[in-house]
A = this chain, B = another copy of it.
Amino acid sequence: MEIGNNEEGHLRSFVERIESLEEEKAARADDIKEVYGEAKSSGFDPPTIRKIVARRKKDSAKLAEEEAIFAIYLKAMGMAA
């Protein structure tokens, strides 16, 4: 692909928007790390908290998965969802 002269600005715009969003994302990641640090200072064990968070997330993910499997079975039976 070639870039016409007036396309340069578009490329730069995309790159800068991505960089801006990645900064925000990194900032959130830092905040998360900070909360784990606070929790540790309060006497909690960060790895265990991590497991709690993962477990809570998986519970909702599992719900979604079960519904997906149900849909597959419905389809296998030729029944409408």
Contact = CB atoms under 8 A, between A and B. Distances in A.
A61 interface: no
A-side interface size class? 35 or more
Given A15-B53, A79-B55, A25 B22 contact: no
Contacts of A14: 35, 38-39, 42, 44, 49
A43 B51 CA distance: 27
Interface in A1-43: 1-3, 7-8, 10-12, 14-15, 17-19, 21-22, 24-25, 28-29, 31-32, 35-36, 38-39, 42-43
Contacts of A39: 11, 14
List of 4 A-B pairs having minimum Cβ-Cβ separation, nearest first: A25-B28, A14-B39, A8-B76, A1-B45
